[in-house]
Structure 1
Amino acid sequence: MIMAKVFGLVLGFLSQTFTYPSQIRLSPVGVNNGQVITPELSNSIQETLDVWNITGLSVAIIPKSGEPEYHSWGDRTEDGESVTQDTLFHMASVSKAFCVSALGILMDDFEHGRNVTPLPPALTEFNWHTSIQDLLPGEWQLMDEWASRKANVKDILSHVSGLPSHHFAFGPYESPKEVVSRLRYLRPAFELREQWSYNNQMFTVAGHIVETYSGKTYTSFVEDRIFTPLGMFSSTFSPAKAVKTGKFTQGWTSSGRLLPEFFQEDMIMPMAGPGGVISSAVDMSKWVALWLNKGVHDNVTIIPSSVYGNASQSYAVSISTPVDSEHSILGYGLGWFRNSYLGHDVVYHSGSIPGLSTLVSFLPDDDVGFVVFANGDNKAAPVMNISNRIIDAALHLRSGPAPPIMPEKKAVTSPSEDIVNLELPLEEFSGTYTDPGYGTFTFCSPSSSSPYCQQVIANFTTVDSVRPSAPSSLQLLAAWPRVGSSHIRTVHQSGNKFMLLPTALFPEGYGRDSTPFETAEIGTRGAPVEFVVEDGRVVGFGLFGLVGQVTERERTQTTVKDRAGVWFDKV
Structure 2
Amino acid sequence: MVKLLSIALGFLSQPFTHLSQLLFLVDPVRVNNGQGRQVITSELSNSIQETLDTWNITGLSVAVVPRYGEPEFHSWGNMTEDGDKTTEDTLFHMASVSKAFCASAIGILMDDYEHGRNVTPLPPALSEFNWHTLVQDILPGEWQLMDDWASKKANMKDILSHVSGLPRHDYSYGPGDSPKGDVLRMRYLRPAFELREQWSYNNKMFTAAAHIIETYSAQTYTSFVEDRIFTPLGMSSSTFSPTKAGKTGRFTQGWTSSGRLLPECFTEEMATLLAGAGGVISSAVDMGVHNNVTVIPLSVHGNASQSYSVSISASADPELSIQGYGMGWFRNSYLGHDIVYHTGSVPGFSTLASFLPNDDVGVVVFANGGDKATPVMNIFKRIVDAALNLRSKPLPPIEPDTSEKKPVTPPNENVVGLELTLEEFSGTYANAGYGAITFCSPSGSTSYCQDVISDFAAVDGGKSSAPQTVQLFAAWPRIWSSHIRVVHRSGSTFVVQYTSLFPEGYGRDRTPFETAEIGTSEATADFVVENGKVVGFGLVGLVGQLMERERTQATVKNRAEVWFDKVQ
2:72 is matched with: 69
Deviation of the 1:493 alpha carbon: 1.5
Deviation of the 1:520 alpha carbon: 2.9
Whichever residue aligns with residue 535 of structure 2, its letter is V
Q: How does 1:464-479 map to 2 (within 5 A)?
A: 464-467=460-463, 469-470=465-466, 472-479=468-475
1:552 is matched with: 548
Q: Give aligned pairs, total.
A: 536
1:169 is matched with: 172
Return structure 1 stretches of 4+ with deviation > 3 angstroms.
30-33, 410-414, 417-420, 466-473
2:409 is matched with: 415
Distance 1:410-1:187 versus aligned 2 partners, 3 A rule: farther
Task: State the superposition RMSD in angstroms.
Answer: 1.8
Q: In 2, Cα distance between the equivalents of 1:114 and 1:339?
A: 36
Q: In 1, Cα distance between the equivalents of 2:323 and 2:524?
A: 28
Does 542-551 or 273-282 show the bigger shift?
Answer: 542-551
Q: In 2, Cα distance between the equivalents of 1:429 and 1:150?
A: 41
Deviation of the 1:301 alpha carbon: 2.5
Deviation of the 1:368 alpha carbon: 0.8
Deviation of the 1:400 alpha carbon: 3.8
Once the two structures are superposed, residues 482-541 of structure 1 have per-residue CA deviations (whole angstroms, 9 ceiling, x without a partner) of 0021111111122211111111111110000010001138xx971111111111111111
SS in 2 for 1:346: strand
Distance 1:39-1:177 versus aligned 2 partners, 3 A rule: same
User: In structure 2, which of residues 446, 450, 456 is the aligned counterpart of residue 454 of structure 1?
Assistant: 450
Deviation of the 1:308 alpha carbon: 2.1
Whichever residue aligns with residue 524 of structure 2, its letter is P
SS in 1 for 2:300: helix
Q: In 1, Cα distance between the equivalents of 2:74 and 2:117?
A: 41
Q: In 1, Cα distance between the equivalents of 2:355 and 2:251?
A: 25
SS in 2 for 1:308: coil
2:117 is matched with: 114
Whichever residue aligns with residue 386 of structure 1, its letter is I
User: In structure 2, which of residues 389, 394, 405 is the aligned counterpart of residue 396 of structure 1?
Assistant: 389
Once the two structures are superposed, residues 340-396 of structure 1 have per-residue CA deviations (whole angstroms, 9 ceiling, x without a partner) of 000000000000000000000000001110000100010000000000000000000
2:148 is matched with: 145
Percentage of pairs with the same residue: 71
1:283 is matched with: 286
SS in 2 for 1:371: strand
Deviation of the 1:468 alpha carbon: 6.0
SS in 2 for 1:301: coil
User: In structure 2, which of residues 330, 338, 346 is the aligned counterpart of residue 345 of structure 1?
Assistant: 338
Distance 1:242-1:414 versus aligned 2 partners, 3 A rule: closer
1:9 is matched with: none
1:365 is matched with: 358
Whichever residue aligns with residue 51 of structure 2, its letter is T
Contact 2:407 2:465 in 1 (8 A): no
Q: In 2, Cα distance between the equivalents of 1:471 and 1:34?
A: 60
Q: In 2, Cα distance between the equivalents of 1:458 and 1:30?
A: 61
1:570 is matched with: 566
Deviation of the 1:548 alpha carbon: 2.3
Gaps of 5+ in 1: 1-23, 290-296
Contact 1:466 1:516 in 2 (8 A): no
2:329 is matched with: 336
The answer to whether structure 1 residue 526 and structure 2 residue 522 are counterparts is yes
Q: In 2, Cα distance between the equivalents of 1:104 and 1:33?
A: 36
Q: In 2, Cα distance between the equivalents of 1:468 and 1:404?
A: 35
- TM-score, normalised to structure 2, is 0.92
Q: In 1, Cα distance between the equivalents of 2:112 and 2:408?
A: 58
User: In structure 2, which of residues 434, 445, 449 is the aligned counterpart of residue 438 of structure 1?
Assistant: 434
Q: How does 1:236-251 map to 2 (within 5 A)?
A: 236-251=239-254
The answer to whether structure 1 residue 319 and structure 2 residue 312 are counterparts is yes
Whichever residue aligns with residue 416 of structure 1, its letter is P
Deviation of the 1:454 alpha carbon: 0.6
Contact 1:499 1:527 in 2 (8 A): yes
2:16 is matched with: none
Distance 1:30-1:75 versus aligned 2 partners, 3 A rule: farther
The answer to whether structure 1 residue 187 and structure 2 residue 164 are counterparts is no
The answer to whether structure 1 residue 538 and structure 2 residue 534 are counterparts is yes
Contact 1:139 1:180 in 2 (8 A): yes
Whichever residue aligns with residue 156 of structure 2, its letter is V
Does 27-36 or 48-57 show the bigger shift?
Answer: 27-36
Contact 2:28 2:68 in 1 (8 A): no
The answer to whether structure 1 residue 480 and structure 2 residue 476 are counterparts is yes
Deviation of the 1:545 alpha carbon: 1.4
Whichever residue aligns with residue 492 of structure 1, its letter is H
Does 418-427 or 68-77 show the bigger shift?
Answer: 418-427
1:4 is matched with: none
Q: In 1, Cα distance between the equivalents of 2:513 and 2:371?
A: 17
Distance 1:471-1:369 versus aligned 2 partners, 3 A rule: farther
Contact 1:417 1:473 in 2 (8 A): no
Distance 1:125-1:202 versus aligned 2 partners, 3 A rule: same
Q: How does 1:4-83 map to 2 (within 5 A)?
A: 27-29=30-32, 34-83=37-86
SS in 2 for 1:285: coil
Contact 1:464 1:471 in 2 (8 A): no
Gaps of 5+ in 2: 1-26
Q: In 1, Cα distance between the equivalents of 2:71 and 2:330?
A: 23
Distance 1:202-1:46 versus aligned 2 partners, 3 A rule: same
Does 525-534 or 504-513 show the bigger shift?
Answer: 525-534
Deviation of the 1:27 alpha carbon: 1.3
Does 411-420 or 488-497 show the bigger shift?
Answer: 411-420
Q: In 1, Cα distance between the equivalents of 2:488 and 2:565?
A: 19
- TM-score, normalised to structure 1, is 0.91
Distance 1:525-1:275 versus aligned 2 partners, 3 A rule: closer
Q: In 2, Cα distance between the equivalents of 1:402 and 1:367?
A: 21
Deviation of the 1:323 alpha carbon: 2.0
SS in 1 for 2:344: strand
Contact 2:95 2:278 in 1 (8 A): yes
Q: In 2, Cα distance between the equivalents of 1:471 and 1:278?
A: 42
Q: In 1, Cα distance between the equivalents of 2:440 and 2:507?
A: 29
Whichever residue aligns with residue 226 of structure 2, its letter is E
